Amino acid sequence: MMERRNTMKTHWQPSKDWLEQICNFENKIGYSFKNKKYLIEALTHSTYSYEHSMYGLECNERLEFLGDLVLGLTVGNHLFKTFPTYPEGKLSKLKAALVCEPTLAIVAHNWELDKVLLLGKGEETSGGRNKPSSLADATEAVLGAVFCDADFVAAATVILRVLEPLIQEAVAGNLVYDYKSALLEKIQTKYHSSQLRFVLLDETGPAHSPSFKMGIYLVNDLLATAIGSSKKEAEQIAAKQALQLLDMKKCI
């Protein structure tokens, strides 16, 4: 008699240490999941999902999409109600500072999310556990997971609890991450020029972990160069360096 082949997916078994860290993580965010599958999915990077496909683990990209929407609405609504005299432009700048990658990476570090993030081997060895983009994406995914496990109110509560001190920093002008926009504004104000160009100078590394070298030119003069894991990250780093250079030259 031919032996029946087992086609069922093997169940994923997390380590005891990881489960203990998950308990600590839930304490950090102030929310305990009723259905842990949402939390597991939120913490599963696409590389881990791919390398452990036999377990049928979903990566966190869909929850990240949902969390981004919940985050934006929560922060926008909170700012609108908290600062009734602020014009649209100021509210938009505050919101941008609070939902951007660097701020979400700070949130992730406060939550110690890096300790529970599930990464593939290649992503792990390339420093993915400390990569701001991965941490920010996972933060949004966790917020999406809370929304799915409970409701909007629960997710908004988690968001505002962790962002409250950062909101005060943003209002005080201490959360300036959009160096690219700041540089463009300074150049237009000081030189009455819009001839600032961001140019891709080089692209290296494997497809799963590329590096981009961006240069910033004012007309034909190279102001700064920087390397990042994305074009956007490299542009921001280079823009920050350009602003510092202009400050040293007393051009601003």
- Write out the binding residues for Mg(2+): 64, 137, 140
Name the token pair of 216.
């910033």
Active site residues: 68, 140
- Known binding-site residue numbers: 64, 137, 140
SS3 of residue 158 by DSSP: helix
The pair of structure tokens assigned to 151 is 């409701």
Q: What is the largest CA-CA distance in the chain?
A: 86
169 burial level (CB within 10 Å; 0-12, 13-18, 19+): middle
Strand partners, 169: none
Cα(9)–Cα(12) distance, rounded to whole angstroms?
Answer: 9
What the block records as the tokens of 197 is: 């160009």
Contact 213, 203 (CB under 8 A): yes
